[in-house]
Amino acid sequence: MSPELLRLLVQATLDTLRMVAVAASLGTLIGLPLGVFLATSGRGELLAAPWLNRVLGLVVNATRSTPFIILVVAIIPFTRLIAGTSIGTSAATVPLTVAATPFIARLVEGAVREVDGGLVEAARAFGASPLQIVLKVLIPEALPGIVLGLTLAVVSLIGFSAMVGAVGGGGLGDLGIRYGYQRFMPEMMLAVVVVLIVLVQLVQTLGDRLARRMNKRLRHG
């Protein structure tokens, strides 16, 4: 592979990493509280707000049921509003974030729902407020599950990021399509796939290891 192509590959990898990192961070920032709220705001639950719970649930479902490539195109006006443009790597992080947030929220919701209800009862019994229960009981106890969920979200985002080439988003997927497919360069296609495999492996291994370290339900030693 020529130095020119190698430079392209490195640039595309960095673009992908940046898009995924920004989307995962923003998605977690919004998705984590949203997921905790979804898990605790049902009827008779800790932060009971059944009406708001249902509305947010609907929004989350609507976003999640839209195929990503359609979402990218459908929210172009919103992307332009946020990023100032609808083309390029920065612009591409907007639909990625929009897709990641409800996904992360559902994963966090699942992890929080896994926490034993007896712990919430015990915390209520010693006088903890709903906010204290969320911060000191639910999130710490759900953390291993949340980390596994975020790992899954990052892996999915790496996949999604390949599609933003459709709006000039750049990154590895775009490189693979334009050089590997359209210019008949199988070695570029192969390189892109190998880099993606290595990235996903790395993320998954890291996430698994972190989650296992946090999970004190298992005996260590």
CB 154 within 8 A of CB 31: no
Instruction: Output the DSSP codes for 77-101.
Output: HHHHHHHS-SSSHHHHHHHHHHHHH
- Residues 177, 17 contacting (CB under 8 angstroms): no
CB of 121 or CB of 208, closer to another protein? 121
Is 184 a binding residue for another protein by CB under 8 A? The answer is no
Q: Is residue 212 a contact point for another protein (CB under 8 A)? A: no
C-alpha to C-alpha distance for 205 and 202, rounded to whole angstroms: 5
Q: Is 125 in the site for another protein (CB under 8 A)?
A: yes
Nearest distance from C-beta of residue 219 to another protein, angstroms = 6
Nearby residues of 216 by Cβ (< 8 Å), 6 or more positions away: none
Asked whether position 129 contacts another protein by CB under 8 A, the answer is yes
**CB-CB neighbours of 112 under 10 Å:** 22
141 makes contact with another protein (CB under 8 A): yes
Segment interacting with another protein (CB under 8 A) among 32-40, 98-106, 123-131, 155-163: 123-131
Q: What do you get for the CA distance between the two ends of the chain, in Å?
A: 47
Tell me if 121 contacts another protein by CB under 8 A: yes
Residue 137 sits in the site that holds another protein (CB under 8 A)? yes
Task: Name residues contacting another protein, limited to 33-72 (CB under 8 A).
Answer: none
Cβ proximity of 80 and 7 under 8 Å: no
Q: How many CA atoms lie within 13 A of 103 on its CB side?
A: 27
Of 116, 183, 193, 212, the one binding another protein (CB under 8 A) is 116
Which one among 18, 113, 124, 178 touches another protein, defined by CB under 8 A? 124
The C-alpha R_g of the chain, in whole angstroms, comes to 20
Q: Examine residue 114 and tell whether it contacts another protein (CB under 8 A).
A: no
Binding-site member from 19, 123, 148, 185 for another protein (CB under 8 A) = 123
Interface positions with another protein (CB under 8 A): 116, 118-119, 121-129, 132, 136-137, 140-141, 143, 214-219
